[in-house]
Amino acid sequence: MAAIKIWEVPGVTVPKPNERVLKVLFSPNVGNKELTLLVSLIYPHSTTGLHTHDVDEYMYIASGHGVAISEDGEEVEVHPDMLVYAPAGVKHEMKNTGDETLKLICVYVPALKASGYFEEAEKKAKEFLSDKI
């Protein structure tokens, strides 16, 4: 069993205009070959920008308020204890509309391939979590 203090896990800050912090907790290079689990901390009035993945993404809203935006422009208000599902290949965006950080717990199945900011966050997590998981 492992108990991870998420606030201690180092993250990577994605710069403006899509400013947020990404913290990897599990991935193929960090304790789990089947999925990727990360925390995304989206600052007030910031956004992920419209993007897509080649795997399914499940986003649990842990705190904060915002909107989930689909590629056709549909907006759904999100708040704590909601889950947003973005199937592989579907463009989506999460936007923080509040004055507090929007905290998402994101699960990708199967696991994401490491690249860009995610790859940086994965390297930091691997080093930090190596003796904890």
CATH number for the domain that contains residue 103: 2.60.120.10
Q: Is residue 1 part of a domain?
A: no
Q: Is residue 104 part of a domain?
A: yes
Res 80: pLDDT: 99
Domain that includes residue 107, residue range: 12-129
| Strand, coil or helix: 13 | strand
Q: Is residue 6 part of a domain?
A: no
Residue with tokens 């950080």: 101
Give the percent of the chain with pLDDT over 90. Answer: 97
- pTM, two decimal places: 0.95
Q: Is residue 44 part of a domain?
A: yes
In the chain, the number of structural domains is 1
pLDDT tens by residue, 21-34: 999 999 999 999 99
| Strand, coil or helix: 120 | helix
Q: Is residue 85 part of a domain?
A: yes
- 4 by Cβ neighbours in 10 Å (0-12 / 13-18 / 19+) ranks as middle
Alpha carbon distance 62, 82 (integer Å): 8
Closest listed residue to residue 105, CA positions, set 47, 51, 64: 64
Res 36: pLDDT: 98
